[in-house]
A and B are shown apart, each in its own frame.
Chain A
Amino acid sequence: MNDLIKKLVEAYGPSGFEDQMRALIRPEIEKYADEISVDALGNLIAHKKGDGSGLKVMVAAHMDEIGVMITHITEEGFCRFTNIGGVYSHTLLGGRVQFADGRIGVIHSDRITDRSKIYGLDKHFIDVGANGRDDCPVQVGDAAGFHREFVVNGKMLSAKSMDDRIGCVVAIEAMKRLKQTPHDVYFVFSVQEEIGTRGAEAAANHLDPDVGIALDVTTTGDVPEAIPMAVSLGKGTAIKVKDAGMIAHHGLVQLMKKRASEASIPYQLEVLTGGSTDARSIQIANGGAAAGCISIPCRYVHSQSETVHADDVENSIKLLVELLAKPMEL
């Protein structure tokens, strides 16, 4: 599975520019879907048919990643930029970005006069090796994702965009393993999550599911001076009860707990005080859906070294398969 993870996490795909991701994922799932479509916003939707006895279930994992967009090129050929999604300047210095054409740029900042201070994005620039504005191969409006190699430290897996390529991996693996389901399942590899869960909103609007399940990362409380949170790496998949954007459907949470217990899948209950997922959009779309989220615990979210645990990934896949393979009484 690490090969698949490496392929997805190292790929380019900031919000709104997910074409390369779509091209990577499509061949992985083609064999396991009854029907594949791409909607107008770019969501990749794989339909796995049920036997007619179940519900319409939308499973969403977002393909996009946080990134930057070039806003200005200086006379000398340095690129000023703005954020795509939650990019914070204290994670940037010395980092690298990749553009759609594979070009790499390095990030630095204007002269630092006070080292105790964190400067805004506007004080940072990207150097793509240009000699001047006219020579610069990058244009205003070009988007870039971060560039960072996938690292395996035993069971700890680190990469730039575990959020949410690891969710995509969970979805792909679950599709492979899900032999039969009573439900009409739509696996949505969604776009534009990082800028406001917009892809999932559009998909939920036209799919109109009864149940929505997002697959996404959640932060953990197991690192020094973390925001207090009862989720740790390696202790199991996380069943979301609440985050800053929504309260998960109580019946769905109970069902997830039940399915996990039945199959002896280690799980943790997640009460997240900041951030939200695609489930938030699915819950309120149209007449509403029972929404929940299977979260993969992840340290250092929105840094270039987002870290997950292989066991948690495996347990998340197992829980999703258990959930989809059996009837849902909500």
Chain B
Amino acid sequence: MDIHKLLKTLTETPGPSGYEDQIAAVIEELWQPCVDTITRDRVGSLIATKRATKNGRTPPRRILLAAHMDEIALMVRDVEEHNGNGFLRVTSIGGVDTRQVFGQLVVVHGRKNLTGVVGCLPARLLPEEKQDKPFDFEDLLVDVGLPIETVNNQISIGDFISFRQPLLKLMNKRVAGKSLDNRASVAAVTVCLEQLRQRQHAWEVIAVATAQEETRLLGAYTTAFALQPDAAIAIDVTFGKGPGANEHVTHELGGGPALDLGPNVHTGMFNALKATAEELELNINIETHQRASGTDAHGLQIARAGIPTAIVAIPLRYMHTMVESVALKDIERAGRLLAEFIVGLDEEFLGKLAKGMMEEESKQ
């Protein structure tokens, strides 16, 4: 599987939170050959089911893989006329870092797609107290270079705006671009589904490209509730070692996916994934979180009576910028780890998880 080509398609397709139709269609086409059914739910998540291919329990146990497909973006909050031209005032969708949007290219999803640039008055023309600050959304604007009549005709308040950055090849089989958070994980799930085609597995696999993770983990909460899986894995990105991030716990790009440990993760799931990685002699890192993990796992874990949940994370540099970068190798490894883990799931798995919990309980 050509992961670069896959990522190019995935990252260059727009999918702002709440506006995931286009990216969902692309993912549907990618997953279709590997799965048995594929649908979208009320909030926009894409849900694909691959039936068990090995005899086992009826109905089979089910594992849910959640990788969010939405991306941070902007939204038009007002249209302003100046000198006969139309300018867009915008607000952010998800955690947009305002320090890095000035001078970026965007696509305004109006009646048709329009190219725009994020501009601002020069700092010296701003109020004095703002001159040494990052530009904020009160002053930043999107300029589509068109007269006000055309702008009013094509664009309205509430239109979504996605960032535009073609995928770039860096050295060392790394790539950089926009929305690798979290299309890198969508790619990993795609790798997993592709590998499972040739393999026998006793558990049913539900692959979900969740909607609106960047704003409120929406798809994780709703799909886990609706589908009631027996176990779940959130696949997301984590901080790569690199400029500005070295003093934090971060992971080398190309050093393997990170398995997350913390309150959003079932320790038994973590151990099982770790054991699978060790059997495969596959490089992994161990990641920790102390409160909320900031991933879909936060929503998956707490659905209904609770779901044993794990996090597989792909190290990524410059999160929430247009130059997020990852190592292709880590995506391939994450996909392979997921596939092998699923192949190894048997009827005893849930029992072992429960037993693990009981033993931990009785030790205390």
Contacts and interface: CB of A to CB of B under 8 A. Distances in A.
A229 B78 contact: yes
B267 interface: no
Contacts of A284: 216, 218, 221-222
B156 A242 contact: no
A288 B219 CA distance: 8
B222 A287 contact: yes
Contacts of B292: none
Contacts of A273: 77, 91
A241 B75 contact: yes
A247 B17 contact: yes
Interface in A114-163: none
A287 B91 contact: no
Nearest to B221: A284
A243 to B, nearest CB: 10
Contacts of A248: 18
A253 B44 CA distance: 14
Interface in B31-74: 41-45
Interface string A280-300: 100110111110000000000
B157 A269 contact: yes
Interface string B192-226: 00000000000000000000100110110111011
Contacts of B215: 246-247
B294 to A, nearest CB: 17
Nearest to B220: A284
Given A287-B41, A288-B226, A242 B75 contact: yes
B226 A229 contact: no
A283 B218 contact: yes
B76 interface: yes
Interface size class of A (residues with CB under 8 A): 20 to 34
B221 A269 contact: no
Contacts of B212: 247
Interface string A304-322: 0000000000000000000
Contact of A250 (B19, B77, B91, B218): B19
Contact of A271 (B19, B21, B44, B75): B75
Contacts of A330: 42
Nearest to B18: A247
Contacts of B156: 269
B364 to A, nearest CB: 34
B75 A289 contact: no
Contacts of B17: 247
Given A241-B75, A242-B18, A271 B41 contact: no
B42 A242 contact: no
Contacts of B45: 288
A249 interface: yes
Most buried by A among B17, B76, B157, B218: B157
Contact of B158 (A269, A283, A287, A288): A269
A248 B43 CA distance: 10
A102 interface: no
Contact of B226 (A247, A271, A286, A290): A286
B89 interface: yes
A210 B78 contact: no
B138 interface: yes
B158 A241 contact: yes
A288 B17 CA distance: 15
A327 interface: no
A245 interface: yes
Contacts of B77: 228-230, 271, 273
Nearest to B226: A287
Given A242-B91, A248-B18, A271-B91, A253 B43 contact: no
Nearest to B137: A273
Given A247-B17, A247-B18, A271-B91, A290 B157 contact: no
A252 to B, nearest CB: 10
B90 to A, nearest CB: 9
Contacts of A239: 158
A247 B93 contact: yes
Interface in B286-305: none
A288 B42 contact: yes
A239 B158 CA distance: 10
Most buried by B among A241, A247, A249: A247
A220 to B, nearest CB: 12
A288 B78 contact: no
B342 to A, nearest CB: 24
A264 B216 CA distance: 34
A273 B78 CA distance: 12
Interface string B232-272: 00000000000000000000000000000000000000000
Contacts of A229: 77-78
Contacts of A228: 77-78, 89, 138
19 contacts: A221-B78, A228-B89, A230-B157, A239-B158, A241-B75, A245-B216, A246-B215, A246-B216, A247-B215, A271-B158, A273-B77, A283-B218, A287-B222, A287-B225, A287-B226, A288-B226, A289-B42, A290-B43, A330-B42
Given A230-B79, A288-B45, 7 more contacts: A228-B138, A230-B77, A241-B75, A247-B215, A248-B18, A250-B19, A286-B226
User: Which 8 A-B pairs give the minimum distances between C-beta atoms?
Assistant: A288-B222, A287-B226, A247-B18, A241-B158, A288-B43, A269-B157, A271-B77, A230-B78
